[in-house]
Structure 1
Amino acid sequence: MAALPVIVSPPSPTGGRRVRVDGEILGLAHNLRDVAEFLRRAGLDDVDETDVETSALIEWRGGGPEVWLAP
């Protein structure tokens, strides 16, 4: 995975998390698969759900990759 700044925001009150790559909002993800797809569309080839879950290049705010609903 390339070393672009990837930030996954805290869950929204209605569910889902905003995903940003290099400051650009890519969309609202509802699961790891969505995050992986956004990263592929941003040009990061060969990214899968396991990469998303374990990569130190992704900054998870408001909970880790297992958190998808606001508290």
Structure 2
Amino acid sequence: MASDRPVVVYPPDEDGGRRVRVEEKILGLAYSIRDVAAFLQEAGLQDWDEMDVVRSALIEWRGGGPEVWTH
């Protein structure tokens, strides 16, 4: 099933990194909420910070929410 949310944060890998995808493009590997915010800022959401990432309904968190960074 495709997500109706344009941003997907995948489950943590063995090192705690989580892939971040916007629409069909992988932006990189995040190791914290700050990293996710930085990727989204680079993607055009310049005003976003860590609290926007935690609260946003535009983000689908797979394998745990924004508090999960270990495998």
TM-score, structure 2 normalization: 0.90
Tell me how large the CA RMSD over aligned residues is.
Answer: 1.0
Q: Which runs of 5+ in 1 are unaligned?
A: none
Residue of structure 2 equivalent to 1:14: 15
Moved over 6 A (4+): none
Question: Over residues 22-57 of structure 1, what are the superposed CA-to-partner deviations in whole Å (9 max), with x where a residue is unaligned?
Answer: 110000000000000000001112000000011011
Report Cα offsets for 1:3-33 as digits up to 9, x if no partner: x700000000121100000110000000000
User: Helix, strand or coil for the counterpart of 1:26?
Assistant: strand
Share of identical aligned residues, percent?
A: 67
Separation in 2, partners of 1:14, 1:30? 9
Aligned residues: 67
Specify the alignment match of 1:32 in structure 2. 33
Alignment partners' CA distance in 2, 1:45 and 1:26: 15
